[in-house]
């Protein structure tokens, strides 16, 4: 998995461990691994480390191992996103407190913004990057025209 010719130094190994442990924060990983300097210097160190193939390969291998250990697959992620979408689109009654008692107003709401975010994540996973924008909860859905992008790609291709 790591490059045959290069092994990680102790400091690089610590960088990888800390990078994964703190949510992929390169500056914090560099600091925790023992690199010295200002945040700008540590950011440069982190960027340089992440560009090194043997370090990038080690990070990828460790991430894959974590996913495998936790049984996190693409299908599992898709299922969880589908659950989020379904829950967000359930109509929930709007409740207000009247004289100390909770009562329904007769109106219903749903979490459209989170549902759209989950749909966007599914689109990214599936390579469908057509932009979807919602202006309000229930109306004015605009879909960017994928055709424009495809035509632009064709024009660029024809220029070559």
Q: Using one digit for the tens of pLDDT, what is the confidence trace for 122-149?
A: 888 877 765 555 444 444 334 344 556 6
85/118 Cα distance (integer angstroms) = 6
Q: Using one digit for the tens of pLDDT, what is the confidence trace for 110-127?
A: 888 888 888 888 888 877
Residue with the larger pLDDT of the pair 64 and 156: 64
Question: Domains, the chain, ranges and CATH?
Answer: 10-69 (1.10.10.1400), 74-159 (no CATH)
Q: How many CB atoms lie within 10 A of CB 120?
A: 16
pTM: 0.49
Which bin fits 14, alpha (ψ -120 to 50), beta or left (φ > 0)?
A: alpha
Burial class (CB in 10 A: 0-12, 13-18, 19+), 46: buried
Q: Using one digit for the tens of pLDDT, what is the confidence trace for 76-113?
A: 889 999 999 998 888 888 899 999 999 998 888 888 88
What's the CA angle centered on 49, arms 47 and 54, to 5 degrees?
135
Among 2, 13, 5, which Cα is nearest to 64's? 2
What's the CA angle centered on 63, arms 59 and 65, to 5 degrees?
115
At residue 150 the predicted structure's pLDDT band, cuts being 50, 70 and 90, is low
């Amino acid at each position: 998995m790591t490059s045959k010719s290069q092994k990680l130094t102790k400091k690089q190994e610590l960088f990888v461990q800390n990078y994964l442990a703190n949510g992929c924060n390169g500056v914090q990983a560099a600091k925790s691994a023992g690199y010295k300097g200002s945040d700008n210097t540590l950011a440069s160190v982190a960027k340089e480390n992440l560009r090194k193939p043997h370090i990038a390969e080690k990070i990828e291998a460790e991430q894959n191992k974590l996913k495998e250990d936790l049984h996190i697959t693409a299908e599992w992620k898709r299922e969880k996103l589908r659950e989020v979408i379904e829950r967000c689109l359930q109509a929930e009654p709007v409740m207000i407190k009247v004289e100390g008692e909770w009562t329904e107003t007769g109106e219903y709401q749903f979490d459209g913004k989170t549902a759209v975010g989950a749909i966007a994540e599914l689109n990214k996973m599936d390579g469908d990057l057509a932009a979807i924008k919602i202006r309000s909860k229930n109306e004015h859905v605009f879909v960017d025209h994928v055709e424009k992008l495809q035509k632009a790609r064709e024009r660029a291709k024809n220029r070559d």
